[in-house]
Amino acid sequence: MCKPSLLVKILYIILLLFIAIGCKDGSLNKNLDTSVIDPSNNYTKEDYNNYFKNSAQNQHNQKYNEQFDYGDENPIQPFLAEPVKPLINSDKLVTLSVSEDIDVKDVLIELARLAEIDIELDPKIKSGIILKVKDKPLSEVVDRVAMLAGLRYRILDNVLRVEIDTPYLESYPVDFLNLTRTNKSTYKVNVGLQSGSASDGATTGNASTSEIVAEQAGNLWATVGQDIKQIVDADKSIFKDAGGSIASSYVSLNKEAGMINLFARDRVHKIAKTYIAKIKSNVSAQALIEAKVVEVTLRDEFQSGINWNMLERNSVGFDINFANPIGSFTTGAGEITYGVLNGLGKASYNKRFDSTTTSNLISAVKLMELFGITRTLSSPRIHAMNNQQAVLSFARNHVYFQLKIESTSQASTTTTSGATDTQVTSELKTVPIGLIINLQPSINLETNEITMNIRPTISKIVDNKKDPSIVYALASQSLEGVNTSDLSSEVPVVEIKELDSILKIKSGEVMVIGGMMEERVANTDSGVPGFKDLPLLGNLFKSSGKTKEIVQTVIFIKATIVPSSSNYNAKDKELVDKFGGSDTNQFNLRPLN
């Protein structure tokens, strides 16, 4: 007979065997899963949370869809601004035939009866009209009657009030600057030699002069005042009021307050209001001018200049085109090439450039890397108002002096000899060295085009020349102890590359001005350090050479019309304010062009 302790051990071993078998087939693990809270369905707490969350969201979406009833048959339509309602809100059609024998007051009373509204008439109305209409809206008929009879009307509290269209005062605010701006640019080229003056004072020799003068004087206030005055004068000479007398009108400008005061009839106010709205829209139009001035050190195979035709033929893997044909003309500074690029923002690059999200100007600069090493001299960016000149200046003023020597001889006496008084004065002169771009855009908001007058000027000092008259004047003074050869007045020799042109481009296009080339020579000295600087013997330990490179300056100018921020549609703004909350940019609301 076994001892109890041995029996307990045997039972314990059998229990362990059952546990091991259960773990092997996974049934025990499944039953012992503590995350399961519903053994009948084997659902966990996470399963129930997801179920109730999705169920609540589905119920919310169902109620939302039932409320607005958005189905496949009725997709969401784009928002349309509500048209302007007529003053007389009646859809009745009127057929009417009126002769001049019928008083216009009787006609208006009958129209008010048809519209089922009250009417107030000015007793001074005494005129007749000739009118025949058939099946026209009542509001249109009232407009035509008022226009023919020289009347104006309004609806207030469902009452039609008609009176003679006598002048009344209305003030229109405008934001025009109170200034007169005058600009003048001159482009002058002298060709030939002058050999002096003839006896009659005329200059002899071969000389040829080509000059372009562009002047612009802008006085917006005077122009607007004159235009409105012409509108008023035209109304005086053509129309008469219902009483038969010519209506007196006037216009006054308050430049300091930015107000246009108009005393005129209602028909004149309507014309003037439309005119002022168009003027404000056009004057406030802006163009964003972005420019890049790039120097291209040409490779050996492009020493004659950038091959623009190669870009136009799309032989370099760029999907671009020239909006205007490439042209060129020859000047003293070399061959000038001009043209307009578009589509650079959508360029499909080859493997050399893998970026397709860069701006047009950056893409244009990358194009130049095909022809050599590029270096950006400046990247100006400025906003220019419509028909207002803008200046981009990246230059320094080089200072030099112009000397003036005046000698005065004193009378001699018996004891002293005549002396000479010398007076030397200097006048400060400056010349800008660098880049100056003058431009004036004219913006057409309807065609989205910009007509631009552009004049880039690049200047640099290439040499200095001594004024010979200074040495001659000093030598004639016989100054003791002064070496006149050391005294000089140097005048800089300035190289100017300039272009003046008028062109038209689409908003967002890139204009190219190129072909301004120069040859640069640099000394390349090399040798043994320490020995190459020895006098006389130093030449044995060094070698001298010169390198020549051709540099072409290219100017890229991009002009983009910037719409006014005040041109938002009122209904669009109301919709965004009502449903957009604080973050209105999510609607990507854009101004009207």
Q: Region of 530 please: left (phi>0), alpha (psi -120 to 50) or beta.
A: left
The reply to whether the predicted model has a pTM over 0.85 is: no
Are residues 406 and 275 part of one domain?
A: no
What pLDDT score does 528 carry?
Answer: 72
Instruction: Among 257, 284, 311, give the residue marking a domain's end.
Output: 284
Are residues 152 and 3 part of one domain?
A: no
Are residues 394 and 255 part of one domain?
A: no
Are residues 50 and 17 part of one domain?
A: no
Are residues 381 and 329 part of one domain?
A: yes
C-alpha distances (whole Å) from 198 to each of 77, 206, 235, 311 are: 84, 13, 63, 55
Long-range contacts of 105-113 (CB under 8 A, 24+ apart): 107/131, 107/145, 108/142, 108/145, 108/160, 108/162, 111/138, 111/141, 111/142, 111/145, 112/160
Are residues 363 and 497 part of one domain?
A: yes
* Residue 139 lies inside a defined structural domain of this protein: yes
444 Cβ contact partners less than 8 Å away, ≥ 6 residues apart? 450, 451
Q: Which neighbouring-strand residues pair with 550? A: 519
Range of the domain at 40: 35-69
User: Could you give the CA distance from residue 294 to residue 298 in angstroms, rounded to a whole number?
Assistant: 12
* Residue 592 lies inside a defined structural domain of this protein: no
Are residues 280 and 297 part of one domain?
A: no
User: Could you give the CA distance from residue 325 to residue 461 in angstroms, rounded to a whole number?
Assistant: 34
Q: Please give, one letter per residue, the 3-state secondary structure of 2-49.
A: CCHHHHHHHHHHHHHHHHHHHHHHCHHHHHCCCCEEECCCCEEHHHHH
What pLDDT score does 478 carry?
Answer: 58
What pLDDT score does 337 carry?
Answer: 42
* Residue 77 lies inside a defined structural domain of this protein: no
Q: Residue 363, exposed/middle/buried by CB under 10 A (0-12, 13-18, 19+)?
A: buried
* Residue 428 lies inside a defined structural domain of this protein: yes
- The string of pLDDT tens digits covering residues 419-457 is 566 677 778 888 888 888 888 999 998 888 999 888 888
What are the residue ranges in the chain where pLDDT is below 70?
A: 1-5, 7-9, 15-91, 185, 187-212, 214, 238-247, 311-360, 407, 409-422, 471-487, 531, 564-593
What pLDDT score does 425 carry?
Answer: 79
Give helix then strand counts, H and E, for the chain.
Answer: 11, 24
Strands (E), 507-566: 510-527, 542-562
Are residues 423 and 314 part of one domain?
A: yes
Count of domains observed in the chain: 5
Are residues 183 and 117 part of one domain?
A: no
* Residue 196 lies inside a defined structural domain of this protein: no
> 542, 528 in Cβ contact below 8 A?
yes
Are residues 219 and 305 part of one domain?
A: no
* Residue 576 lies inside a defined structural domain of this protein: no
199 Cβ contact partners less than 8 Å away, ≥ 6 residues apart? none
487 Cβ contact partners less than 8 Å away, ≥ 6 residues apart? 470, 471, 474
405 Cβ contact partners less than 8 Å away, ≥ 6 residues apart? 422, 423, 424, 470, 473, 474, 477
User: Could you give the CA distance from residue 287 to residue 561 in angstroms, rounded to a whole number?
Assistant: 4
What pLDDT score does 69 carry?
Answer: 46
**How distant is the alpha carbon of residue 29 from its chain centre?**
73
Q: Residue 257, exposed/middle/buried by CB under 10 A (0-12, 13-18, 19+)?
A: exposed
* Residue 88 lies inside a defined structural domain of this protein: no
Q: Are strands 118-121 and 159-164 parallel, antiparallel or unpaired?
A: parallel
Structure tokens at 306: 């950038």
* Residue 458 lies inside a defined structural domain of this protein: yes
Are residues 60 and 39 part of one domain?
A: yes
Are residues 141 and 3 part of one domain?
A: no
Q: Which runs of consecutive H residues, i.e. helices, occur in 375-501?
A: 468-475
**Could you tell me the CATH number of the domain that includes residue 120?**
3.55.50.30
Which of these, 143, 139, 160, 140, lies nearest to 151 by C-alpha position?
143
User: Could you give the CA distance from residue 305 to residue 296 in angstroms, rounded to a whole number?
Assistant: 10
Size of the chain, expressed as the number of residues it contains: 593
Q: Residue 262, exposed/middle/buried by CB under 10 A (0-12, 13-18, 19+)?
A: buried
